Chains A and B, each alone.
Chain A
Amino acid sequence: MNLRIDSGQASIDTSSASRIGQIDRPDRSDRSIANPDAATAGQFSGELGKAIGEIDKLQVAADTQADAVAHGAGNIHEMALALEKADVAMRLAMRVRNKLVDTYNEIMRMGI
């Protein structure tokens, strides 16, 4: 069981952006039989939390690089790349957040 989870995680770690919304198949197959809805809900919020953590990590990494450059000892292209990654990740997060809010409003509008 552990091996399957680890290999699933390894394949996801390659890109944080693609992690959003991606269902972790090996995990799901363990619990979906017993309680499908709860498993799905747990998966998604967990994934979302992880994604937000990733975005925050990118912001912190960009800050670290910018600090190094501010002290005059930084690598300029590394800083530029870190800033761009943080920018792209933030834009993606905004899009996802807007989509989620729209979906929520849509659902609320449906009524019983």
Chain B
Amino acid sequence: MDFLTALHVSGSALSAERTRVNLASSNLANAETTRGPNGKPYQRLDPVFESMRIGAQDEAPTVGQSPLGVRVSQIVSDPSQGKKVYSPGHPDADADGFVTFPKVNPISEIVNLLSASRAFEANATAVETLKQMASRGLDITK
């Protein structure tokens, strides 16, 4: 185990949480988007976290060998339909006059946002702590 492995472990978590924040923001911003990139209503995006071995290559984890980092293995979109609102004059209304809105719950997106932001702070603290530890170790020679 390298001396500073924890730095890269926490760094991978910072990166993953940042992605989570980006996706939650994207979901919040598009909570009312009736026409997404593919013409259909916006589908909310979720990150899928996966453990990752920190070492020579970032590959599938092997338990018991080295501390595991995290990465976003894929970003999945939620295909389920949101609520339908009767609004015949809407440009995106279908033949029956219903407009399909995205299945985005702003409350749960905000909770995701807060949770990711807390996790980001926690990992940033871990990075700072390890930096301090290494500094103190060096201070032996002062």
Whether A and B touch directly in their complex, counting CB atoms under 8 A apart, is answered as: yes
Q: Which of B73-125 contact A (CB under 8 A)?
A: none
A interface, over-half SS: helix
Q: Is A74 an interface residue (CB 8 A)?
A: yes
Interface digits, B17-31 against A, CB 8 Å rule (1 contact, 0 not)?
000000000000000
- When the two chains form their complex, are residues A73 and B140 in contact, meaning their CB atoms are under 8 A apart? no
Q: Is A67 an interface residue (CB 8 A)?
A: no
What number of residue pairs across chains A and B have CB atoms under 8 A from each other?
19
Q: Is A77 an interface residue (CB 8 A)?
A: yes
Q: How far, in Å, is B93 (CB) from chain A's closest CB?
A: 62
- Per the bound structure, the CA–CA distance linking A80 and B133 in Å amounts to 13
Contacts of B139 in A (CB 8 A): 80
Q: How far, in Å, is A108 (CB) from chain B's closest CB?
A: 40
Residue numbers of A with Cβ under 8 A of B are 73-77, 80-81, 83-84
13 interchain pairs, CB-CB under 8 A: A73-B2, A75-B3, A76-B137, A77-B137, A77-B138, A77-B140, A80-B137, A80-B138, A80-B140, A80-B141, A81-B140, A83-B141, A84-B141
